[in-house]
């Protein structure tokens, strides 16, 4: 929805012609244009449980998508990675693979893939891992970026005892099958609303819109020709990823970047890691002088300790076009916005937390089995 609003495409796929960004020309990076003039998103929605996909089929955006883009079955993964990876109906998996091929073939210059999924549930972790493997197998030389919702372990918002199990196994798969993974926690995004927007209980809709605003800046230069920036998937990957497996940048967003963690979308202490690379992506009425001051602050205070292999990479990007607010959203969209991407080893805190939680549950199960065996004996 964020992309269609910025590119001024209505819920029916038609161009609204409101000249929202008069200085920039829209291209067909994320939308294909049919002979009738209708714009169709280059996207696929996949879920073995039809309920979530049915919300799109029957909702306000039902005319925007083609039916073959909305894939669903009649089963549940039961919040289990193994079921999502091994037990999903083969017909649904094959349909997803066929649709991936068709979407890729419809592109005149395919640059890469952007995957949105959750690591805590059975579908996002298991089926998501299977499909990212498929993308890596079919398109090994294309960029593979993903936005992955990491479970807030130990948080009151946790909905399943198997979240740590799912997260550990699925995160391991991202090491090989993803080029750049942005880990996001719902609790961290909710914290941004509480601290910066005075919204005590943001809805999941609010959280999704905040994440959409942050990620829209990552793709802005690719979507609006003449936006002024020069950032695409290849540039981001070469700037942020010094080594293939070190590809988990910390995502932050706001009207300006503060380095106190208030804009982070993952709960971790960024001062407790090595900062390997940082990119600040500005849009709207950003003042270059202020941006360079932020960059100098990073150089003086935050790039320490340095990675032993060299000085951390630092990059700035400026793109025109002020953020477009969502209707009735508490996420304010001022005349400027900035997304910060920082590749830091601090995210290991979250990965190890998931591993420790998983290990403790395995020990509990083992202890329970031993006790049962003792009783039976």
Residue 376: the pLDDT is 45
Write the burial class of residue 144 (CB in 10 Å: 0-12 exposed, 13-18 middle, 19+ buried). Answer: buried
Residue 94: the pLDDT is 94
Report the DSSP beta bridge partners of residue 180: 145
**Residue numbers of the chain with a pLDDT score lower than 50:** 304-311, 366-377
**Contacts for 160 with CB less than 8 Å, ≥ 6 apart:** 79, 120, 121, 166
Nearest CA to 336 out of 352, 313, 319 is that of: 319
pLDDT digits (tens, 9 = 90+) for 226-241: 555 567 888 888 888 9
Most distant CA pair in the chain: distance in Å? 79
- Contact present, 279 and 240 (Cβ < 8 Å): yes
Residue 369: the pLDDT is 44
| CA 282 – CA 26 distance, rounded (Å) | 19
- Contact present, 155 and 123 (Cβ < 8 Å): no
- Residue 91: both structure tokens together: 């017909």
Q: Quote the crossing angle between the two packed helices 90-105 and 128-138, to the nearest 10°.
A: 40
Q: What is the CATH number that goes with domain 179-377?
A: 3.40.50.1440
Domain ranges of the chain: 179-377
- Contact present, 227 and 321 (Cβ < 8 Å): yes
- Contact present, 116 and 218 (Cβ < 8 Å): no
- Contact present, 299 and 336 (Cβ < 8 Å): no
| CA 295 – CA 279 distance, rounded (Å) | 9
Residue 138: the pLDDT is 94
- Contact present, 71 and 110 (Cβ < 8 Å): no
Residue 371: the pLDDT is 44
Terminal CA-CA length for the chain: 60
* H helix runs in 203-347, sequence order: 204-218, 220-223, 233-240, 288-297
């Amino acid at each position: 929805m964020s992309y269609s609003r910025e590119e001024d495409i209505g819920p029916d796929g038609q161009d609204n012609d409101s000249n929202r960004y008069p200085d920039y020309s829209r291209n067909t990076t994320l939308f294909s244009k049919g002979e009738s003039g209708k714009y169709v998103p280059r996207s696929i929605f996949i879920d073995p449980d039809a309920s979530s996909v049915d919300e799109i089929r029957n909702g306000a955006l039902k005319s925007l998508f083609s039916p073959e883009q909305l894939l669903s079955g009649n089963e549940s993964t039961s919040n289990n990675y193994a079921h999502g990876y091994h037990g999903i109906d083969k017909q649904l998996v094959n349909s997803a693979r066929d649709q991936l091929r068709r979407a890729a073939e419809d592109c005149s210059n395919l640059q890469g893939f952007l995957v949105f999924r959750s690591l805590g549930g059975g579908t996002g972790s298991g089926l998501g891992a299977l499909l990212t493997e498929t993308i890596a197998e079919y398109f090994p030389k294309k960029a593979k970026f993903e936005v992955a919702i990491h479970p807030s372990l130990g948080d009151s918002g946790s909905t399943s005892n198997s979240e740590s199990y799912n997260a550990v196994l699925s995160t391991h798969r991202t090491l090989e099958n993803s080029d750049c993974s942005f880990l996001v926690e719902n609790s961290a995004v909710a914290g941004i609303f509480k601290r910066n927007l005075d919204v005590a209980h943001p809805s999941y809709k609010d959280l999704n819109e905040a994440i959409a605003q942050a990620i829209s800046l990552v793709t802005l230069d690719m979507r609006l020709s003449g936006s002024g920036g020069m950032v695409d998937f290849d540039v981001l990957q070469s700037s942020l990823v010094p080594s293939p497996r070190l590809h988990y940048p910390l995502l932050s967003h706001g009207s300006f970047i503060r380095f106190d963690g208030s804009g982070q979308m993952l709960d971790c202490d960024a001062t407790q890691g090595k900062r390997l690379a940082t990119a600040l992506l500005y849009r709207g009425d950003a003042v270059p002088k202020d941006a360079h001051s932020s960059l100098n602050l990073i150089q003086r205070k935050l790039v320490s300790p340095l990675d032993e292999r060299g000085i951390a990479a630092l990059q700035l990007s400026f793109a025109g076009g002020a953020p477009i607010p969502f209707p009735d959203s508490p996420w304010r969209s001022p005349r400027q916005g900035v997304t910060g991407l920082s590749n830091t080893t601090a995210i290991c805190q979250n990965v190890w937390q998931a591993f420790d939680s998983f290990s403790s549950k395995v020990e509990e199960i083992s202890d329970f089995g031993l006790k049962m065996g003792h009783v039976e004996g």
